Amino acid sequence: MATKQPPPSVLAKKSTGRLSQKVQNMQLSKVVPITDAEDTNKERVGRKRSKPPLPAGARATVKVSLSPDVTVLANTIRSNSSTVVECTGHFAHFGVPGATVAARALSSIPDGNSVIAELILDGNALGDEGAKLLAPHLGKLRHLKALELRDNELHDDGVQVLCRALMKSTCLERLSLSGNEIGTRACKEVAALAMAVPTLQHVLLLDCKNLTLPSLGCFTRAVLTMPDDRPLTFFEGLEWNKVCEPMNLKKQFEFDAEVLAYLKGLRGDRHTRERERVLRLEQTLQQKWHVQVRCGRRVRRSNRRLPQRRSNHQYKDANEAPSAWACDVLSRVVRVL
């Protein structure tokens, strides 16, 4: 049988002489039951505080505040009084919003009046979008000698836009793209930039991912075809040893510097045949790469259009069902198209 609990007033009278007021209140709170109204209020508060679940495949957005150095960078650019502008190592605290602020500051400078000679933005997570924001304003920096964009999560699209914006530069000497994911398309633009800007002496490509054999072929052609009346652009960070086997070089080299020195020696008139042979092999290598890229695109497109093979019982007549050989031939034809 359930025992009846004494009222709270009785418990308070029994314990007044022995327990303090704080302990009495704690005991009374245990004895007094919670009403239904208080339960509903707690449920309502809990519902207000809980956030609705995210849809499938969505990611929670984290708001990252901009570094105060971004404002300092913008003020330095607008003042147009310093030849060296540097803002490095902020990563997510710079990003695309910081690139937007820097692009607005660069747009305020009149054409041809900039005194900036070095623009250093290493480690700011610009990405391709941030590079596209800065690229249109680089043409105003006519005295720009060094552009350093190390560890900025750049890919082919962003590097291509930057190189095309720097094509008309007359005093660029140093370009740093180390630590970015650069592919063959970006390497072609970098090599074309080295050919178009005679003052470009140093290109840093250290710790770059996605550097393939066709990428090295682009720089090999640039080294062999540069005119003798200009300083040779030094591409730092490339594994030149990978070029020896596909280019069928006559000598065996142990270090990358030896391969580069050998390619520089082929620029003379005495080695015209060898230089032309290496250039033909490089052209063949680029053609194979283009074919592989196109075939890869065709295969991806054809996989979407492949007809579904029906089983024999889905045909009205058994003679209508195609053979396995006919289905195989049909699938190959669709892939080629």
Residues 254 and 239 placed together within one structural domain of the fold? yes
The answer to whether residues 236 and 206 touch, using CB atoms and an 8 Å cutoff, is yes
Residues 240 and 307 placed together within one structural domain of the fold? no
Positive or negative, the CA dihedral 276, 278, 279, 281 is positive
The predicted pLDDT at position 303 comes to 52
Give a yes or no: residue 129 inside a domain.
Answer: yes
Question: What range does the domain containing 269 cover?
Answer: 68-282
Helix (H, G, I), strand (E, B) or coil at 123: coil
The predicted pLDDT at position 206 comes to 92
Residues 203 and 322 placed together within one structural domain of the fold? no
The predicted pLDDT at position 71 comes to 93
C-alpha 274/C-alpha 266 separation (Å) is: 7
Count the helix, strand and coil residues of the chain and give each as a percent rounded to the nearest 5.
55, 5, 40
The length of the chain in residues reads 337
Q: Which residue among 263, 282, 301 closes a domain?
A: 282
Residues 246 and 295 placed together within one structural domain of the fold? no
C-alpha 147/C-alpha 60 separation (Å) is: 35
The predicted pLDDT at position 122 comes to 95
78, amino acid identity: R
The predicted pLDDT at position 332 comes to 60
Give a yes or no: residue 2 inside a domain.
Answer: no
Residues 244 and 300 placed together within one structural domain of the fold? no
H-only helix segments in 15-51: 21-31, 36-49
Q: Which residue among 251, 267, 282 closes a domain?
A: 282
**Domains held by the chain: number:** 2
Residues 111 and 211 placed together within one structural domain of the fold? yes
Residues 243 and 124 placed together within one structural domain of the fold? yes
- Which residues of the chain carry a pLDDT beneath 70? 1-64, 295-337
Residues 256 and 166 placed together within one structural domain of the fold? yes
Residues 179 and 305 placed together within one structural domain of the fold? no
Helix (H, G, I), strand (E, B) or coil at 174: strand
C-alpha 170/C-alpha 196 separation (Å) is: 10
Tens digits of per-residue pLDDT, 40-61?
555 555 444 555 665 655 555 5
State the CB neighbour count (10 A cutoff) for residue 47.
Answer: 8
Residues 211 and 316 placed together within one structural domain of the fold? no
Structure tokens of 143?
A: 């005295």
The predicted pLDDT at position 301 comes to 54
The predicted pLDDT at position 320 comes to 47
Give a yes or no: residue 50 inside a domain.
Answer: no
Residues 74 and 203 placed together within one structural domain of the fold? yes
CATH of the domain at 82: 3.80.10.10
H-only helix segments in the chain: 8-14, 21-31, 36-49, 68-79, 95-107, 127-134, 156-165, 184-196, 213-225, 244-247, 256-265, 272-305, 324-336
C-alpha 276/C-alpha 282 separation (Å) is: 10
Between β-strands 118-120 and 202-204, what pairing exists: parallel, antiparallel or unpaired? unpaired
Q: 332: phi > 0 → left, psi -120 to 50 → alpha, else beta; which? A: alpha
Residues 311 and 239 placed together within one structural domain of the fold? no
